[in-house]
A and B are shown apart, each in its own frame.
Chain A
Amino acid sequence: MMIKEKVEELANLIKKISKKDLNLMEFCGTHTHEIFRYGIRQLLPNNIHLLSGPGCPVCVTSQKDIDYLITLVENEDFGVITFGDLVNVPGSKGSLNKLRLKGKEVRVVYSPLESIKIAKENKNKKYILVGIGFETTAPNIAYTILKTKEEKIKNLFFLSFHKLTPPAMKAILDMGEIRVDGIIGPGHVSTIIGRKGWQGVFNEYKIPFVIMGFKPIEIMYGLYKLIELLEKNEKKLLNAYDISVSEEGNKKALELLNQVFIIKDAEWRGLGLLKNSGLKINDKYKDLDIESYYNLKIESKEIPGCKCGEVLRGILKPPECPLFGKACTPDNPVGPCMVSQEGACSAYYLYGSENE
Chain B
Amino acid sequence: MSEEIVLYHGNGGEGTKKLINEILNNLDNDILRELGDSAILNLKDKLAFTTDSYVIFPQFFNGGDIGKLSIYGTVNDLSVCGAKPIFLSLSFIIEEGFLFEDFKKILLSIKEASNECDVKIVTGDTKVVEKGKGDKIFINTSGIGIIENENRNLTKRKVEKGDLIIINGGIGEHGVVVMLERLGIKVDEKIKSDLAPLNKLILPLLDNFNGVKFLRDPTRGGVATVLNEVSKKFNFEIEIWEDELPIKSWVKEASNILGIDPLYIANEGKVIIIASKDQGEDILKFLKSNSLGKESKIIGEVKNEGNRVFLKTEIGTRRIVDTLKKDILPRIC
Q: Which A residues are within 8 Å of any B CB, using their own CB? A: 3-4, 7-8, 36-40, 42-43, 84, 110-111, 114, 216, 329-331, 341, 349-355
A331 touches B315 (CB 8 A): no
Assuming the contacts A84-B259, A350-B320, asked whether A329 and B325 have C-beta atoms less than 8 A apart, the reply is yes
Residue of A whose beta carbon sits closest to that of B256: A214
Q: How far is the CA of A49 from the CA of B151 in the complex (A)?
A: 55
Assuming the contacts A110-B258, A341-B259, asked whether A4 and B326 have C-beta atoms less than 8 A apart, the reply is no
Cβ of A221 to closest chain B Cβ, rounded Å: 12
Q: Give how many B residues have a beta carbon under 8 Å from the other chain's beta carbons.
A: 18
Q: Which B residues are within 8 Å of any A CB, using their own CB? A: 183-184, 243, 257-259, 310, 313-320, 322, 325-326
B316 touches A351 (CB 8 A): no
Q: How far is the CA of A38 from the CA of B325 in the complex (A)?
A: 19
B325 touches A355 (CB 8 A): no
Residue of A whose beta carbon sits closest to that of B315: A7
B326 touches A355 (CB 8 A): no
Q: How far is the CA of A264 from the CA of B301 in the complex (A)?
A: 55
Q: How far is the CA of A352 from the CA of B310 in the complex (A)?
A: 11
Q: Which residues of the partner chain A approach B320 to less than 8 Å between Cβ atoms?
A: 350-354
B317 touches A331 (CB 8 A): no
A-B contact pairs, 12 of them (CB 8 A): A8-B315, A38-B319, A39-B313, A42-B317, A42-B318, A43-B316, A84-B259, A216-B315, A329-B325, A351-B319, A354-B318, A354-B320
Cβ of A195 to closest chain B Cβ, rounded Å: 25
Residue of B whose beta carbon sits closest to that of A3: B314
A36 touches B314 (CB 8 A): no
In the A-B complex, list the 10 residue pairs whose CB atoms are closest, starting with the nearest.
Answer: A39-B317, A330-B325, A7-B315, A42-B317, A351-B319, A216-B315, A39-B319, A352-B320, A331-B325, A354-B318
Residue of B whose beta carbon sits closest to that of A84: B259
Q: Which residues of the partner chain B approach A36 to less than 8 Å between Cβ atoms?
A: 319
B319 touches A331 (CB 8 A): no
Q: Which residues of the partner chain A approach B243 to less than 8 Å between Cβ atoms?
A: 4
Q: How far is the CA of A39 from the CA of B310 in the complex (A)?
A: 11
Q: Which residues of the partner chain B approach A3 to less than 8 Å between Cβ atoms?
A: 314-315
Q: How far is the CA of A350 from the CA of B308 in the complex (A)?
A: 12
Q: How far is the CA of A42 from the CA of B325 in the complex (A)?
A: 24
A4 touches B318 (CB 8 A): no
Cβ of B187 to closest chain A Cβ, rounded Å: 15
A37 touches B326 (CB 8 A): no
A8 touches B316 (CB 8 A): yes
Cβ of A228 to closest chain B Cβ, rounded Å: 20
Cβ of B122 to closest chain A Cβ, rounded Å: 39
Cβ of A220 to closest chain B Cβ, rounded Å: 8
Q: How far is the CA of A198 from the CA of B317 in the complex (A)?
A: 32
A39 touches B318 (CB 8 A): yes
13 additional contacts (CB under 8 A) given A3-B314, A37-B319, A38-B313 = A4-B316, A7-B315, A39-B313, A40-B317, A114-B183, A216-B314, A216-B315, A330-B325, A331-B325, A341-B259, A349-B322, A351-B319, A354-B320
